[in-house]
Every structure is written in structure tokens, then in C-alpha cells.
Amino acid sequence: MSVTIRHIAHASHDYAMAVNLRRAVLRTPLGLDFTSAQLAAETTDTHLAAFEGEDLVATVVLSPYDDTTLKLRQMAVDDSQRGAGIGRHLLAAAEAFAKTQGKTRIILAARVTAQAFYTANGYVAEGEVFEEVTIPHITMCKTL
């Protein structure tokens, strides 16, 4: 694996590629799409992406949550690149960024199908399974 992780700017060309990947991985399989209002609201978020050469192969979004915590959302790795450590690498970059912002905790709503990925990376499940975008999720947290 030789990927580089970069911050990408909202509304940039890279952001458009990241939204395309998020749509393909996280929305289209559920028969859903992002609304323009949802994407417009992401201007206050931090966007990270993993690149293999010029190809954007994974992305994640970090949203403000509270004084000590960032919310991690929209983690997506391209189908053809899964299981190669890219998700773990991107998660580590997100955690490193959170620390630079003085945050000590990350919270996320994990798809139950991805819960083991987050557990393997030090996240702990909290509370009951709930439904979001039509599928089961569970809240998970990590103290940094």
C-alpha cells in the first residue's frame, strides 16, 4: 500500500470526487442520495482523503460535536481497495487531526456491519442499536 492522506477543501474538485465515492459506497446501495442542503452544510466539516497516485481511494468527514469531541462520519473505502489497511490508516489520520484541535474523544455512528473494524481500532460501543439511513447502527467512542 502506498497511499497519501490529505485534507481536501469543501467544494473543491477533490471534494467532488470524495462525494462520488461516498455516494457509491454509502448511499446508492441503499437507494439514497445526498441532498444539496446536506452537502452545503459540510462547509464547517474537515474532509480527509486517501490517494493512491491521483486516485481518491478513501475518505472521511469530521464534524464539530462538543468542546472535547469530534464526530467521525462518512468513512468509505473504495470497494477494490478494502482490507489493505487504508481504512485503519485514514482513521489514524483523523485521530491525529482531532488531537491537533485539542480534542480528546471521537464519537461515531457505526454501521453494525463495520462495528468490528472500529473495535479493532480501539472504539467502544455504547447504548443500543438504532436505525439510520434504513440500516442498523451503534454509537462508538474512542478516548484519544
Ligand X SMILES: CC(C)(COP(=O)(O)OP(=O)(O)OC[C@H]1O[C@@H](n2cnc3c(N)ncnc32)[C@H](O)[C@@H]1OP(=O)(O)O)[C@@H](O)C(=O)NCCC(=O)NCCS
Residues that bind ligand X (CB under 6 A): 25-26, 75-77, 82-88, 110-111, 113-114, 116-117, 120
Residue 10 near residue 45, CB atoms below 8 Å: yes
Min. distance of Cβ 84 from ligand X in angstroms?
5
Residue 136 near residue 129, CB atoms below 8 Å: yes
**Would you say 6 or 88 has its CB closer to ligand X?**
88
**Would you say 8 or 94 has its CB closer to ligand X?**
94
Min. distance of Cβ 89 from ligand X in angstroms?
7
**Would you say 28 or 143 has its CB closer to ligand X?**
28
